[in-house]
């Protein structure tokens, strides 16, 4: 018997067991005493590796690390021992040591792999920096892997600030109008059940669990001092309102934050700032810059106001700047 597998679909340590379930005697020959011809089987013992699939790791995979803030733990990320097809080697239990291309990193490195995987949630930096990464290393047998680049910003949070849930990483559909736990199929299974927003109070970030109609960024009666959009796979500003400061620093330059409402849309209050550090702002609706508000499109960001329904309204006292000409009109 010969069996072939799709390498991308195999699961480490899967035991393959084959059994004869039906036989047919040839014409003019003796018949079998049982329909299965005696039911011959291959080895069924769980105590050996006969006919067992073995994934052999050749590298470490590090899940997407979201942008973070000084003196604040990065959002949880995972490191896994994987083969060339990104299948986890469940037999790896060594320690993973962390290093960084940045400076001022603190952690409890090394971290022990459990069935080839470890989740890490206590890494932070003492200084702001951009374009840094983390490398994981297993010394023997040797494995290594490097994360995506991410940024660390200096921020002083105040009570009432909102942020997208860092645990989302680069996944999940987040609405400014919803606090409901994410569900499939609109969001991937990896983030299903997670709350999209967190609120800062008394030095701690906690999930926003109140009703969307009262506690979402769009619906909250009390103006949110600052909104930090640093995680998620797609962000929708939804119906919009007049906001205070919004900082957008998404996991990749291509991650979309969308505003399509043409009645209210994205409003920036007098003296406040919409700072697009990284991400793709797709404006199919209305943006209203009031008073001395400010709009900043930075080097790793793009703003697209190329739609026929786009509306750009600004007070003569407002200002906006584009660092690298990534503006589509």
pLDDT digits (tens, 9 = 90+) for 136-173: 999 989 999 999 999 998 888 999 999 999 889 899 99
| pLDDT, position 48 | 73
Rounded Cα–Cα distance for residues 223 and 209 (Å): 18
For residue 49, pLDDT beyond 70: no
**Strand pairing category for 256-259 and 234-236:** parallel
Those residues whose C-beta lies under 8 Å from the C-beta of residue 116, and which sit 6 or more positions away, are 12, 57, 80, 81, 82, 88, 89, 90, 91, 92, 93
Contact by Cβ (8 Å): 167, 63 = no
| pLDDT, position 40 | 75
For residue 19, pLDDT beyond 90: no
- Give 279-298 pLDDT, tens digit per residue: 999 999 999 999 999 999 98
Contact by Cβ (8 Å): 100, 74 = no
Domains of the chain: 59-153 (2.60.40.10), 162-328 (no CATH)
What three-state secondary structure class fits 260? coil
Q: Quick one: tokens of 250?
A: 């998404």
């Amino acid at each position: 018997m010969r069996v072939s597998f799709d390498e991308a679909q195999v699961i480490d340590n899967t035991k393959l067991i084959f059994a004869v379930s039906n036989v047919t005697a040839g014409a003019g020959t003796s018949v079998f005493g049982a329909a299965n011809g005696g039911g011959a089987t291959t080895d069924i013992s769980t105590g050996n590796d006969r006919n067992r699939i073995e994934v052999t790791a050749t590298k470490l995979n590090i899940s997407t690390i979201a942008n973070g803030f000084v003196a604040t733990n990065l959002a949880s990320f995972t490191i896994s021992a994987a083969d060339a097809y990104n299948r986890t080697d469940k037999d790896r239990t060594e320690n993973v040591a962390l290093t960084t291309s940045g400076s001022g990193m603190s952690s409890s490195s090394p971290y022990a792999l459990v069935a080839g995987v470890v989740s890490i949630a206590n890494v932070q930096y003492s200084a702001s920096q951009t374009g840094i990464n983390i490398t994981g290393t297993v010394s023997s047998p040797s494995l290594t892997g490097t994360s995506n680049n991410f940024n660390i910003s200096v921020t002083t949070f105040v009570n009432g600030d909102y942020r997208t849930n860092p645990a989302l990483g680069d996944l999940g559909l987040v609405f400014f109008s919803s606090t409901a736990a994410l569900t499939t199929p609109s969001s991937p299974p990896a983030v299903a059940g997670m709350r999209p927003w967190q609120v800062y109070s008394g030095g701690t970030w906690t999930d926003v669990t109140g009703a969307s109609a009262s506690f979402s960024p769009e619906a909250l009666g009390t103006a949110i001092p600052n909104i930090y959009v640093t995680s998620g796979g797609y962000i929708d500003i939804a119906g919009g309102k007049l906001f205070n400061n919004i900082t957008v620093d998404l996991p990749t330059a291509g991650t979309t934050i969308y505003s399509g409402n043409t009645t209210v849309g994205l409003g920036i209050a007098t003296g406040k700032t919409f700072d697009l550090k990284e991400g793709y702002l797709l404006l199919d609706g209305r943006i209203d810059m009031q008073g001395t508000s400010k709009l900043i499109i930075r080097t790793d960001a793009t703003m697209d106001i190329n739609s026929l329904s786009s509306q750009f309204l600004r007070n003569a006292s407002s200002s906006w700047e584009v660092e690298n000409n990534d503006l589509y009109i």
